[in-house]
Amino acid sequence: MSTPESAFGAASRLGPGAYWECLRGIVVREWLRFVQQRSRFLSALVRPLLWLLVFAAGFRAALGIAIIEPYDTYITYETYIVPGLACMILLFNGMQGSLSMVYDREMGSMRVLLTSPLPRGFLLCGKLLATALISLLQVYAFLAIAWFYGVQPPVAGLLAALPALLLVALLLSALGLLLSNGIRQLENFAGVMNFVIFPLFFLSSALYPLWKMREASEWLYWICALNPFSHAVELVRFALYERLNGLALAVCLGLTLVFAVLAVLSFNPQHAALRRAA
C-alpha cells in the first residue's frame, strides 16, 4: 500500500504539485506577515495620501485646460496623479522588498528560502510575485480612499487595472532585485531613495503630463518619455479608464522579463558577504 510517506521520499521527483505547494506557501507567508504588520500597512498608505490630499490640492490648477488621453473630459489634478501615486506605492514596496531580499538574507528568512530543493529562479520569482500581490492590496486600499475623496474611475476600470498593476509591481520588484544585486551603494534605503526612487518618480509622467514637461524643456521631455516608470504609470492610467496603452504594455512586459531574468542570474548571496568581508 502506498503511504503518504512513500509518495514523498528524498529520491522521488518533485512534480508540478511541489512547485504549486511551494508558491502557495511563499504567498501565504507573505500574507500572514502582512496581516501581522498592520501598522506598516497604514504607514505605507500615508505617503501617497499626503501627495493626494496636500500636494495635489495645491496644484489643482496645474494642468491648465487640455484634455489628454485617456480622459475624455477635463480632469482635476487629483484625478491626474492617482495612477502615478498607485505606481509609487509599488515602486517603494518593490525596492524595499528586493533590498531586504539581498541584505537580510543571512539574517534568516532568505536562508530558509534558499534551503528549498526547488530551483532558485523559481523561489526568487515566487518571492517577487508574493510581494507584488501584497502590494496590490495597498494600492487598492489607496484607490478606495481616493474614491471617497472624489477620484472615481469607472468600476470596470478598477478591475481592468488589476493585471496592469500586477505587471508593474513585478517590473519594479525585478528591477529592485537586479539593482540590489549589482550596486554596492544601494545597501541602505536612503541610497535607493536618492538614486532610484526619486529619479524614476520625478522624471516620469506620474506628476505632470509629458506635454507639460516638453513646454519646460525638450531634453527633460525625452528623459521622461524614455523612463520605464512613465510607461508603467501610463499602462495603469489607461487601464483605469478601460483603455489599453499597447506601447506601455509592450515596454512593461519586455522589461519585466529582462529584469527578472537578469536579477535571477545575478542573484548570488555570496556577493554581499564577500563585499562585507572586503
Partner 1 sequence: MSALELHGVGFRYATRSALEDVSFNVPPGHFTALLGPNGAGKSTLIALLTRLYDLQQGDVSVYGCSLRQQPRLALRQLGVVFQQSTLDLDLSVEQNLRYHAALHGMPRKLTAARIDEELARQSLTERRRDKVRLLNGGHRRRVEIARALLHKPRLLLLDEASVGLDPASRLALNRHVRQLCRDEGLSVLWTTHLLDEVQADDDLLILDRGRLVAQGRAADLGGDDLAAAFERLTRREAA
Please state the closest distance from residue 132 (CB atom) to partner 1, in A: 18
Q: Does 265 bind partner 1 (CB under 8 A)?
A: no
Q: Measure the CA–CA gap between 257 and 248, rounded to whole angstroms.
A: 14
CA-closest candidate to residue 129, choices 169, 188, 177:
169
The answer to whether 183 contacts partner 1 (rule: CB under 8 A) is no
| Per-residue mark of binding to partner 1, 54-93 (x: CB under 8 A) | ----------------------------------------
Q: How far is the CB of 99 from partner 1 (least distance, A)?
A: 18
Q: Are 122 and 201 in contact (CB under 8 A)?
A: no
- Give the CA distances from residue 84 to residues 6, 128, 168, in Å, rounded to whole numbers and listed in that order: 52, 21, 11
Residue 174, all three cell numbers:
525585478
Q: What distance in Å separates the CA atoms of residue 49 and residue 269, rounded to the nearest whole number?
A: 36
| Count of residues that interact with partner 1, criterion CB under 8 A | 43
Cα distance between residue 148 and residue 82, in whole Å: 13
CB closer to partner 1 out of 43 and 194: 43
Binding of residue 266 to partner 1 (CB under 8 A): no
* Contact residue for partner 1 among 19, 55, 195, 221 (CB under 8 A): 19
Instruction: Closer to partner 1 by CB, 31 or 140: give it.
Output: 31
Cell numbers that stand for 83 in this block = 495612477
Give the number of other Cβ atoms within 10 Å of residue 7's Cβ: 9
Q: Find the part of the chain contacting partner 1 (CB under 8 A) among 16-24, 93-101, 128-136, 160-168.
A: 16-24
Shortest distance in whole angstroms from residue 234 CB to partner 1? 37
Q: Is residue 78 within 8 Å of 94, Cβ to Cβ?
A: no
We find the least distance from the C-beta atom of residue 215 to partner 1, in angstroms, to be 50
**Contact present, 241 and 157 (Cβ < 8 Å):** yes
Stretch that binds partner 1, among 27-35, 49-57, 184-192, 207-215 (CB under 8 A): 27-35
**Interhelix angle 228-240/77-103, nearest 10 degrees:** 130
| Interface positions with partner 1 (CB under 8 A) | 4-5, 7-8, 10, 14, 17-19, 21-22, 24-26, 28-29, 32-33, 36-37, 105-109, 111-119, 123, 268-270, 273-275, 277-278
